[in-house]
Amino acid sequence: MRLEFYKYQGTGNDFVMVDNRDLFFPKQDVKLIAYLCDRRFGIGADGLILLEDDPEHDFKMVYFNSDGNPSTMCGNGGRCLVAFANFLGVIANKASFNAVDGTHTATIQDEVVSLQMNDVLEVIEKPNSFFLDTGSPHHVQEVENLKALNVNKEGAKLRYGLYGATGSNINFVEQQSANSFSVRTYERGVEDETLSCGTGVTAVAIAMHNSGKTKSNEVVIHAEGGDLKVHFDNDGGYKKVYLVGAAKLVFKGEIEC
């Protein structure tokens, strides 16, 4: 099969995008998806996303981790898919799409995508950390000297040791100002540190607000791949949660597979 693909990135979180409105892509082929995401033998990406038709929305998002398996919601992937849909002419500047965790709405202006995330009604406090679900499960833990932290080692230790086979994404956080934080994330399914994680950034912003570390309803998060903003309403839970940042086309191509 000769596959046409597009490569997108959102603050360094990169994805192989495929227009699958004709439903030609073999979604059950785990090895193929892992091969396409492989950085040495394939295209290279943190995940693969299919854009498909949806009867009730502008399009459907089908997301796979780089290990080839279907996964939970990906915030940066969702933002990149909105940019891809805009590029294809599927949408203009507004979108409503179906994802694994339900309906999302978004707007796009130039390369900046504002994506509405799910409401978060529960933040679980653990010893020295928090756990919450922002479409994907996230552990949020404050640390000192984030830059020097061995994220792969410490992230894997928590991902497997604390959360078992199902696992959780692991976020390490350091406060920078009254409403800004730096974060580094170990992602399950990728089993490595990624330059950015949209659902992780969202989880960090909410966890830090819930803990009183910030009183702002708009939080700036410095990921390794760039800055993202999260804003929300806090009235009986976290609602109208938006993840905002750039989503860019890197290149397009064809690959034999």
Question: What one-character-per-residue DSSP string does 8-22 give?
Answer: EEETTEEEEEEE-TT
What is residue 151's three-state secondary structure? helix
> Tell me, what amino acid is at 126?
K
What is residue 198's three-state secondary structure? helix
Could you say which of 37, 80, 197, 257 is catalytic? 197
Could you say which of 37, 74, 80, 257 is catalytic? 74
197 is catalytic: yes
Is 185 within 8 Å of 200 (Cβ atoms)? Answer: yes
32 - beta bridge partners? none
In SS3 terms, 216-230 reads as CCEEEEEECCEEEEE
Within 10 A of 178 (CB to CB), how many other CB atoms are there? 10
74 is catalytic: yes
Residues annotated catalytic, as ranges: 74, 197
